[in-house]
Structure 1
Amino acid sequence: MATLLRWLIRIAGTLILLSLLIVLAVYYLASRSLPEYNKTLSAQGLVAPIEIVRDHANVPHILGQTDTDSFFGLGYAHAQDRLWQMVTLRRTAQGRLSEVFGPRMLDVDRLMRRLDLHGLARESLPDLKPDTRAILDAYAAGVNARMAEINRDALGRGAPEMFIFNAAIAPWNAADSVALIKLMALQLTGHLNSEVLRARTSLRLADPSRIVDILPDAPGAGIARLPDYAALLPDQARPLEFAARPAPKPIGPLSPFHSLAHTGASNAFAAAPTRSAAGGTLLAADPHLGFSAPSIWYLARIELAAGGVIGGSIPGIPAIMTGRNADLGWGLTASYLDDQDLHIEEINPQNPNEYRTPEGFKPFKTRKSIIEIKDSAPMTITLRWTDNGPVLPAGDFNLGIITPAGHVMSLNWTGLSGDDTSMDAVIGLMRAKSVRAAIDAGAAMVSPSLNLMLADREEIAMKTIGAMPRRDANHQSQGRLPSRGWRPENRWQGLLPYRANPEFVAPQGGLLGNTNNKMVERPFPMHLSFEWGDTQRIRRLERLMKSREIHTRDSFIEAQLDSVSYSARAVLPLIGADLWYTGEAAPAGTPERLRQRALELLANWNGEMNEHMPEPLIYAAWVRMLQARLIQDDLGPLAKEYTHVDPLFLERVFRDIDGAAQWCDVAQSTPIETCSDVSRMALDDALIWISERYGTHLESLRWGDVHQATHDHPVLGEVPLLRYFVNIRQSTSGGDNTLMRGLTSGAENDPFENVHGAGYRGVYDFADPDSSVFVISTGQSGHFLSRHYDDLAQLWRRGEYIPMSLDVDLARAAATGVTVINPQ
């Protein structure tokens, strides 16, 4: 027995030692790729030495003597901190993810091959200005210098992920960066999904005219110039505001990459000197995209001949996408311009290789494409294009449900341009010194379409940039539904001139704002869009902007972090109108008593979606169950596509606008249900759901426990054990319709996870530019062993910022490292 015990101890000790050695070996290999920021090296492609000063938050201040040298430094810094992210985004644009991740990424690759973003990016290079080409080449040289250093010095393949997914990495080139702007454009548009959902809903409804309820238009005039303080002072006396406007419609996928992605959203607002306490312009910007670890955003400062530029960049793109220089600040919001149309293409019954055009049948443009697949045989697909755009297979986006037999569906989109000059626009924007110069630079933008919020030292402005399709006034669906591609009136007739894009300069009231809301009221085809991302947040922004005669940097920060839900304050009085303080006393432990406690909490709630409060969870669960009850019998399985609550839909129903209350009656049941009945049953549904998950002690609930920001690693985030090191989860305030937006997932299992919001926040004060502040949602590094992987995440969660200064001495004073790169 003693011998057996000794051997068991030896075996256990050996296993423990082996495990420890394996852990140490893995740590050693992974840590080899941690960047060293204090060093001197030489590289080809430089005119003069450059210096990269890393401040305390690991923000690189790139000091080059020429513009191309500075962009070389940006490429090097991006590759130091985010190489894995860059090559993965490039593979996405190329349709080559399956080479690394296997068959599970085939659907993405097939779609990306059909869109051919990378091929179109290569075609666009000759259309760019020579100076832009030089910048793209210098940036690529900086990326490649880092990759050469990794190979030369055996620096762990550049990132831990490279060991797990071992694949060759091609040198970076100019087309790669242009392709990433096109990929960004794909992430910021959702009209394809909107057309499909509208078509499917129309087919499903017994009364198709009721589509105006479930997919409503944004009513009223557009909002860009915010209210004048004096004219709206009396409104401050009202304790609550009640909505007469729609909320965001259910948002479709951002892209086909994963089901929880969403189209872009953002906030941006500005104040003229007359509305600023310090006498300078103010600008706040927080673009919203899907959360990930690391964030898509990367903070950087680069020194150009025109002066320093600082703000948020996207690794892989040589530009400060949102930020400021010494004289101009700019923010971006998704414009929701209708830049996509689906076309139904009739196939020639006598020849399946031809499709119908206004002039008769015509051959598809076809090309074979081979997709390499890890651990599987390659797949060859046939790409087909029509005059209207690429043909999409019936299996994508549920297109097969709405495509007639003998037809296929094609996509027309401004992002499918082979002469895309968008890179010229972003380079020109960084060099602009005034609002007018920035607007002129925006003329080169093709896709994505964005609202450009601007503030120089004297005035503010907002301009929609990006190509606007020219549609025929007789278009059969006005771009809202798939239309017959062979009808001349349904085809695009080129693009509208840049001057047709909405523009607001120096508003009389001194304030501008955009929250993806409707900006203009113009008749089709000059309408810009029928689909808007917001009609709720803008009302809260109006309230906050008009509450002060003059603003400060801190008041702009308060607005950016505001978590009061205009929608909750508007909807609750409607859906609870017949429930407040009604009913007989109920004994403890009964559903009736639980309902009374919930209603009492909500009756005293001000609509603040605070992470520490129970009311946001009760409200969110109630309206989610309520919408599900209202639409389930009419839409059947399609109801699951409506994953987010539309406050306007609830308002139309409970105000019985144009007979919308008929949604309350369950058609399949004999009794006639009233809206009060449905509202009460939905609240009971919500409370049962909450009780089963979190218990019946409503007062102890926390919204932040379910509304956690999911900064997950897109590849390693699902790996057991490892996910605890690479994913960043945070309790957060806000919700779908708050200025501090935290869009919920809408998923069946965890419907209130926060998956989409402001990965970047910046507030710029031109009375004292170096007092400007910014922050991102994770950290600068993409290496999960780095202390800079998540060091900004807690600041972001608490609503804190770091200085956004162009003062080099300030950066040096707290530098964590200085890299000098000399010409070789």
Structure 2
Amino acid sequence: MRFLKTTGKVLLFLSLALGLGTWYWLRSLRPDYSTTLTLSELKAPVEVLYDDYGVPHIYAQNEEDMYQAFGFVHAQDRLFQMEVLRRLADGRLAEVFGEKALSSDRFFRTLSFRQQAKLTIDSLYNTQPDAPFVRAAKAYMKGVNQYIKQGKTPIEFTLAGIPKTEFTLEDMEIIVGYMGYTFVDAFRSEAIATLIQEKYGTAYLQDIMANWPAGEPRISTQAQETSTAQVTAAQALGHMANQLTTMESSLPAPPYHGSNGWAISGSKTKSGKPILSNDTHIAFAQPSVWYEAHLECPGFQFYGSFLAGTPTAAMGHSQHGGWGLTMFENDDADFFREKINPKDSNQVWSKGGWVPLQVREETIKVKDQPDQTLLVKRSPHGFLMNESMENLAKETQPVALWWVYHQFPSHHLESFYGLAHARDASEAGAAVSKLTAPGLNVMWADTAGNIAWWAAGKIPVRPAHVNPMLILDGASGADDPLGWLDFSQNPQILNPESGVLFTANNQPDDMGSGLVAGYYVPGNRANRIGQLLLTDKADWTEADVRKVINDVTSPSYVKTLQEILPVMQVEKLSPSAKNALQKLSAWKGEHLLSSVEPTIYYRLMYHVMKNLVRDELGKELFLAFEHNTNFKRNLAALLANDASPWWDNVLTPKTKETRKEILTLSLNEALTDLETQLGADPATWRWERVHTLEHKHPLGILPLVGRFFNVGPFPAPGGRETINNLDFYVDSTGNYPVVYGPALRRIVDFGNWEQARSVLPTGQSGYFFSKHYADQAELFVEGGSRPERMNRADVEKVMQGKLVLNP
């Protein structure tokens, strides 16, 4: 017995010692914020002050030292995030995560970001090696690689068995390429549009795929203040769209989705200077997408939000001015159905003759599995997408992706470097004009009092007969793009008379060349922003704008309910459905944590959408279609159209269903589901029970230790297409975990540019043992903010550490 007691004490002691040792080891891997290090090739010492939220404030004596130091500290906080983005964009996840990542690797190898990066390096960087933006990029990469050589190894590398390898300029460019892909909505839309057109006709297509509904808000511009083969190709591309939806839900790096942005002229603000507001909508993940840093050297003072692995900020401001971004949503990608030579599968018909495909062999390494071979084929229009997806490679109707991104070298680095150094709207516009793809709305404001907006990106000129939302004919050449609009014809405006400009991914007005085709989202957010900003108020402050950026009310949904609720057959509603009808009739559109109405509303809309379109599309395409932007923006008009053919269930040919029958059925089904899911008492169906936000780390799936990497979940206010746009999939579950939303909320009053306000969804650090890993998570959910400090004296008051980098 004594022996057992002694053995137990020894084991307990060893367990405690092991646990304590592990704890100290994990603490030792935290970033060093207070130390002195040597970085070779620096020309002079650099100081890095870390504030109370872990934001680095870098003070250098020249620009190249500044960017080298930034590369070092960026890698110190976010090296694993950089590695994951590089592997994802390069199609090298399967090396680490095994066979389950193979579909992602096949897809991104086909998109050929590495080859496009080489084109950019050869045509831009190597031809002008002394250009300031090239020198900045090289200095940044030097700093990243110095950390890789002499810094600590993040725990994720050890757990996942990833070797640390140096980064190159090509790696930086492929990360930018991935960002561009996530903006392309054509992958999810054009197959379904073609299938509807060919199988059911124009009447069906127009009701859910119209370009921009009449009466919906547009962004003001300066000018205004089927065939069997088609069906086969559409079905193949539809399968790909569904696979992409599934794939993106498990990607270790988040795709981009939308955003809000606006600028208010100094004539309407209390400070007398413009106010700029921006919240970029990106799928949530951990670490947060953006990394904030304040950079200073003689002649340059700047605070920005940076993507992992890139030296230039995607958003930011200086003492002169600053900018924000939203997605332009223009259609910059087309799919072409190619005609394969029956005697040679590596030839396609093009403009009267057979032409060879360009073929490249890729070897994909798979952890614990044999290597996989992928043939990447390119037609005159672009890469054949069938090869990239399982079970589609043998389709007899291959589909090629024509994408603006593949037509030009990338000027992203040059453009955003220029924006960071711009001193006025003219210089900012010149920098923006160089962007090609993806399409971006760039909002600008400056201390001189200007506000401006440009829809940036190369806009193709298509033949008049072409509907770019459909799969096009690749054989004849008749559907091929004709050229490009000059940047002066891109939608844009400088200093509007209203004193306000805003974008919420809605349709811009035209500049005399017609509306730019695109996958613009519903006007819900734009309507609400206009409702709140376009007033006589002339004393706007940062605090006032903060209330707008956190707004969770959707008047658009109220209008939808006012249209459909009176149509329902009350006598055929269940008692609980009648009670729900009364609640929805009085709803003002709020999505508060305590609200019950949004829980009922989205359950109702799921059943309405299911009963409207699933019979025509089938189960698989319906799942891919639910989040389709065209469908969402045309849904209100469809619900108001009593004569739409969609109301009839094509699976019941002897019965013609009506609008009132479908709506009544949907409300009854919704209430049956809610009672099963949440109980019989509607008072308990609070929004906070079903709408939650969790930030998932790529290693969060690991057993036991994975939960330490994820942040949340938190009950979250806001909803689908509210200004505080915490979106989700509306599906059969009745639960709405947030899939994307504001990746930051940032407001700059240029009357006090040294004290802008921002908040990240989680925190600055990418290391789970750091106090800055999730120190903004609750602040974010609650709609709070913290300062973007640019005055050194202010930084020193809250300084948490000082890193000195010596030559």
Task: Give the TM-score normalised by structure 1.
Answer: 0.89
Following TM superposition, by how much is the alpha carbon of 1:639 offset from its aligned partner in structure 2, in angstroms? 2.3
Confirm or deny that 1:592 pairs with 2:574.
Answer: yes
Q: Which amino acid aligns with 2:463?
A: D
Confirm or deny that 1:554 pairs with 2:543.
Answer: yes
Q: Which amino acid aligns with 1:258?
A: S
Residue correspondence of structure 1 range 798-809 to structure 2 within 5 A: 798-809=782-793
Which residue is equivalent to 1:506?
495
Following TM superposition, by how much is the alpha carbon of 1:673 offset from its aligned partner in structure 2, in angstroms? 3.6
How far apart, CA to CA, are the structure 2 residues paired with 1:528 and 1:306?
A: 39
Spell out, residue by residue over 1:33-55, the C-alpha distance to the aligned partner (whole angstroms, 9 max, x if none): 21120001101121111111111
How far apart, CA to CA, are the structure 1 residues paired with 2:605 and 2:397?
A: 40
Confirm or deny that 1:94 pairs with 2:90.
Answer: yes
Q: Which residue of 155, 172, 175 maps to 1:177?
A: 172
Following TM superposition, by how much is the alpha carbon of 1:478 offset from its aligned partner in structure 2, in angstroms? 2.9
Which residue is equivalent to 2:209?
215
Cα pair 2:248 2:255 within 8 Å, conserved = no
Which residue is equivalent to 1:376?
369
Relative distance call for 1:445 and 1:124 in structure 2 (3 A) is same
Following TM superposition, by how much is the alpha carbon of 1:556 offset from its aligned partner in structure 2, in angstroms? 1.6
Cα pair 2:362 2:373 within 8 Å, conserved = yes
How far apart, CA to CA, are the structure 1 residues paired with 2:617 and 2:245?
A: 23
Select between 122-131 and 786-795 the one with higher mean Cα deviation.
Answer: 122-131
Residue correspondence of structure 1 range 227-242 to structure 2 within 5 A: none
Following TM superposition, by how much is the alpha carbon of 1:675 offset from its aligned partner in structure 2, in angstroms? 2.4
Relative distance call for 1:503 and 1:251 in structure 2 (3 A) is farther
Confirm or deny that 1:492 pairs with 2:481.
Answer: yes
Cα pair 1:571 1:647 within 8 Å, conserved = no
Q: Which residue of 515, 519, 529 maps to 1:531?
A: 519
Q: What SS is found at the alignment partner of 1:754? A: coil
Relative distance call for 1:50 and 1:28 in structure 2 (3 A) is same
Which residue is equivalent to 2:626?
643
Following TM superposition, by how much is the alpha carbon of 1:25 offset from its aligned partner in structure 2, in angstroms? 4.8
Which residue is equivalent to 1:163?
158
Confirm or deny that 1:42 pairs with 2:50.
Answer: no
Cα pair 2:37 2:805 within 8 Å, conserved = yes
Which residue is equivalent to 1:451?
441
How far apart, CA to CA, are the structure 2 residues paired with 1:124 and 1:255?
A: 31
Following TM superposition, by how much is the alpha carbon of 1:611 offset from its aligned partner in structure 2, in angstroms? 1.8
Q: What SS is found at the alignment partner of 1:576? A: helix
Confirm or deny that 1:109 pairs with 2:100.
Answer: no
Relative distance call for 1:75 and 1:254 in structure 2 (3 A) is farther
Which residue is equivalent to 2:228?
none
Spell out, residue by residue over 1:632-676, the C-alpha distance to the aligned partner (whole angstroms, 9 max, x if none): 22322232323349565443344226x216515565175544323
Question: Structure 2: which 5+ residue stretches go unaligned?
Answer: 226-240
Relative distance call for 1:86 and 1:304 in structure 2 (3 A) is same
Q: Which residue of 276, 286, 291 maps to 2:279?
A: 286
Relative distance call for 1:394 and 1:201 in structure 2 (3 A) is farther
Confirm or deny that 1:273 pairs with 2:266.
Answer: yes
Cα pair 1:339 1:469 within 8 Å, conserved = yes
Q: What SS is found at the alignment partner of 1:436? A: helix
Residue correspondence of structure 1 range 720-735 to structure 2 within 5 A: 720=704, 722-723=706-707, 725-735=709-719
Which residue is equivalent to 2:781?
797
Confirm or deny that 1:441 pairs with 2:431.
Answer: yes
Cα pair 2:551 2:723 within 8 Å, conserved = yes
Q: Which residue of 597, 608, 626 maps to 2:608?
A: 626
Q: What SS is found at the alignment partner of 2:105? A: helix
Spell out, residue by residue over 1:385-405, the C-alpha distance to the aligned partner (whole angstroms, 9 max, x if none): 1221111126639978xx9x6
Q: What SS is found at the alignment partner of 1:108? A: helix
Following TM superposition, by how much is the alpha carbon of 1:440 offset from its aligned partner in structure 2, in angstroms? 0.4
Select between 464-473 and 434-443 the one with higher mean Cα deviation.
Answer: 464-473
Q: Which amino acid aligns with 2:205?
A: I
How far apart, CA to CA, are the structure 1 residues paired with 2:187 and 2:298?
A: 42
Which residue is equivalent to 1:710?
694
Following TM superposition, by how much is the alpha carbon of 1:104 offset from its aligned partner in structure 2, in angstroms? 1.1
Spell out, residue by residue over 1:397-427, the C-alpha distance to the aligned partner (whole angstroms, 9 max, x if none): 9978xx9x64311111122246222210010
Q: Which residue of 637, 640, 645 maps to 1:655?
A: 640
Q: What SS is found at the alignment partner of 2:727? A: strand
Which residue is equivalent to 1:315?
308
How far apart, CA to CA, are the structure 1 residues paired with 2:136 and 2:162?
A: 28
Relative distance call for 1:522 and 1:500 in structure 2 (3 A) is closer
Residue correspondence of structure 1 range 715-794 to structure 2 within 5 A: 715-717=699-701, 719-720=703-704, 722-723=706-707, 725-749=709-733, 751-794=735-778
Following TM superposition, by how much is the alpha carbon of 1:24 offset from its aligned partner in structure 2, in angstroms? 4.2
Cα pair 1:328 1:454 within 8 Å, conserved = yes
Which residue is equivalent to 1:201?
196
Relative distance call for 1:603 and 1:252 in structure 2 (3 A) is farther
How far apart, CA to CA, are the structure 1 residues paired with 2:388 and 2:422?
A: 45
Cα pair 1:196 1:399 within 8 Å, conserved = no
Q: Which amino acid aligns with 2:464?
A: A
Which residue is equivalent to 1:246?
none
Following TM superposition, by how much is the alpha carbon of 1:217 offset from its aligned partner in structure 2, in angstroms? 2.3
State the aligned residue count. Answer: 777
Q: What SS is found at the alignment partner of 2:618? A: helix
Relative distance call for 1:662 and 1:484 in structure 2 (3 A) is closer
Spell out, residue by residue over 1:67-111, the C-alpha distance to the aligned partner (whole angstroms, 9 max, x if none): 111111221121111110001101112211111111111111112
Q: What SS is found at the alignment partner of 1:48? A: coil
How far apart, CA to CA, are the structure 2 residues paired with 1:492 and 1:398?
A: 30
Following TM superposition, by how much is the alpha carbon of 1:19 offset from its aligned partner in structure 2, in angstroms? 5.2
Following TM superposition, by how much is the alpha carbon of 1:215 offset from its aligned partner in structure 2, in angstroms? 2.5
Following TM superposition, by how much is the alpha carbon of 1:555 offset from its aligned partner in structure 2, in angstroms? 2.2
Relative distance call for 1:678 and 1:473 in structure 2 (3 A) is closer
Following TM superposition, by how much is the alpha carbon of 1:142 offset from its aligned partner in structure 2, in angstroms? 0.9
Which residue is equivalent to 1:571?
560
Spell out, residue by residue over 1:472-511, the C-alpha distance to the aligned partner (whole angstroms, 9 max, x if none): 334xx33221212232232234433222211111111111
Q: What SS is found at the alignment partner of 2:747? A: strand
Following TM superposition, by how much is the alpha carbon of 1:815 offset from its aligned partner in structure 2, in angstroms? 0.6
Q: Which amino acid aligns with 2:673?
A: W
Relative distance call for 1:163 and 1:365 in structure 2 (3 A) is same
Which residue is equivalent to 1:465?
456
Cα pair 1:254 1:263 within 8 Å, conserved = no
Cα pair 1:537 1:566 within 8 Å, conserved = no
Which residue is equivalent to 1:515?
504
Relative distance call for 1:409 and 1:664 in structure 2 (3 A) is closer
Q: Which amino acid aligns with 1:302?
A: L
Spell out, residue by residue over 1:101-142, the C-alpha distance to the aligned partner (whole angstroms, 9 max, x if none): 111111111122222212311221241452221111100111
Following TM superposition, by how much is the alpha carbon of 1:751 offset from its aligned partner in structure 2, in angstroms? 4.6
Relative distance call for 1:29 and 1:747 in structure 2 (3 A) is farther
Q: Which amino acid aligns with 2:780?
A: W
Cα pair 1:220 1:521 within 8 Å, conserved = no
Relative distance call for 1:672 and 1:377 in structure 2 (3 A) is closer
Q: Which amino acid aligns with 2:717?
A: S
Relative distance call for 1:349 and 1:752 in structure 2 (3 A) is same
Following TM superposition, by how much is the alpha carbon of 1:720 offset from its aligned partner in structure 2, in angstroms? 4.3
Following TM superposition, by how much is the alpha carbon of 1:445 offset from its aligned partner in structure 2, in angstroms? 1.4
Spell out, residue by residue over 1:536-560, the C-alpha distance to the aligned partner (whole angstroms, 9 max, x if none): 1111111111234323222221111
How far apart, CA to CA, are the structure 1 residues paired with 2:525 and 2:675?
A: 31
Residue correspondence of structure 1 range 329-344 to structure 2 within 5 A: 329-344=322-337
Task: Give the TM-score normalised by structure 2.
Answer: 0.90
Spell out, residue by residue over 1:277-306, the C-alpha distance to the aligned partner (whole angstroms, 9 max, x if none): 321111100111100011111111111444
Q: Which amino acid aligns with 1:687?
A: L
Q: What SS is found at the alignment partner of 2:89? A: helix
How far apart, CA to CA, are the structure 2 residues paired with 1:78 and 1:597?
A: 55
Q: Which amino acid aligns with 1:201?
A: I
Cα pair 2:258 2:505 within 8 Å, conserved = yes
Select between 702-711 and 416-425 the one with higher mean Cα deviation.
Answer: 416-425
Relative distance call for 1:630 and 1:8 in structure 2 (3 A) is farther
